[in-house]
């Protein structure tokens, strides 16, 4: 067995036994805790008129020139009206939080009404074209207190070669649905990629609201079982090479 193969096997064995190092995080401010306005819920619009979320921006959809994406502080999400284009209602807060909201600080509420929905996005940089990455985020649904009535909420996500359309949730009038975590793997199609979220829902006018938190992108790492298979494969190659070497007749 040559030294190069031995080195490869040694690296694979070390990868199996070693404690994984902290994965590099490619999303800036994925928990939305870095904001310019720490005292008020606010609309995040293109001009950051009411407040900004570090690393993130709102963009128009194909049907809406004035999207309604809101930053909520968990402790005042159901009591303090959000600064924004509809603040005159005095009821731009949520009827209820998800039942498992403990541990969630700030989060985004993306309006799914097609007349006011728009992308909420961030730029990922330093990626390797063709490499695999793991996207993870939490999402739930809720309702803004200026309206009532049963709604459905969905969420569309795009990044790299990945397009996700999550199944719609049914939200009761003045209610919310629990947080759940979505994890997907995607291939980077460039060193810089846009990660974009767009809420969808029915009916228009109520409005349907998708909640978003804990967005993360890290390099995809093979599972221990995959490393084990690689190690077995390297071993098999080594055995084969040894057999071939011993079967070659010695020259006279």
Phi, psi for residue 172 in degrees, rounded to 5:
-70, 160
Judge if pTM exceeds 0.85. no
pLDDT of 182-227, one tens digit each? 999 999 999 999 999 999 999 998 888 999 999 999 999 864 444 3
Residue 200: exposure state from Cβ atoms within 10 A (0-12, 13-18, ≥19): buried
Task: Determine which of 4-13, 33-42, 130-139, 151-160 has the lowest per-residue pLDDT on average.
Answer: 4-13
The two tokens of residue 163 are: 């397009």
**What is the average pLDDT across 25-40?**
97
d(CA 138, CA 42): 20
| Percent of the chain as helix, strand, coil, to the nearest 5 | 20, 35, 45
Radius of gyration for the alpha carbons in the chain, expressed in angstroms and rounded:
24
- Give per-residue pLDDT as tens, 110-122: 999 999 999 999 9
Name the residue among 155, 141, 154 with its Cα closest to residue 196.
Answer: 155
Instruction: Considering only residues 49 and 223, tell me which one the structure prediction assigns the higher pLDDT.
Output: 49
Residue 230 has pLDDT above 50, yes or no: no
> Is the bond into 176 cis (omega within 30 degrees of 0)?
no
């Amino acid at each position: 067995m040559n030294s190069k193969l031995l080195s490869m096997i040694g690296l694979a064995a070390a990868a199996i036994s070693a404690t994984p190092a902290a994965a590099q995080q490619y999303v800036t401010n994925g928990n939305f805790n870095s904001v310019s306005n720490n005292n008020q819920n606010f609309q995040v619009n293109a001009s950051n008129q009411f407040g900004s979320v570090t690393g993130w921006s709102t963009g128009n959809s194909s049907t809406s020139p004035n999207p309604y994406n809101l930053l909520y502080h968990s402790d005042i999400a159901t009591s303090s009206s959000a600064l924004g284009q509809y603040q005159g209602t005095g009821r731009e807060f949520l009827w209820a939080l998800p039942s498992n909201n403990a541990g969630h600080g700030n989060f985004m509420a993306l309006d799914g009404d097609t007349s006011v929905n728009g992308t909420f996005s961030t730029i990922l940089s330093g990626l390797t074209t063709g490499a695999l990455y793991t996207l993870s985020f939490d999402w739930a649904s809720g309702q803004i207190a200026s309206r009532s009535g049963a709604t459905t909420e969905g969420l569309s996500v795009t990044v790299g070669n990945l397009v996700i359309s999550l199944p719609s949730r049914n939200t009761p009038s003045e209610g919310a649905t629990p947080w759940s975590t979505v994890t997907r793997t995607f291939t980077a199609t460039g060193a810089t990629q846009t990660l974009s979220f767009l809420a969808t829902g029915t009916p228009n006018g109520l409005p349907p609201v998708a909640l978003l938190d804990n967005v993360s992108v890290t390099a995809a790492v093979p599972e221990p079982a995959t490393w084990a298979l690689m190690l077995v494969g390297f071993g098999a190659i080594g055995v084969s090479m040894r057999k071939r070497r011993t079967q070659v007749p010695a020259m006279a």
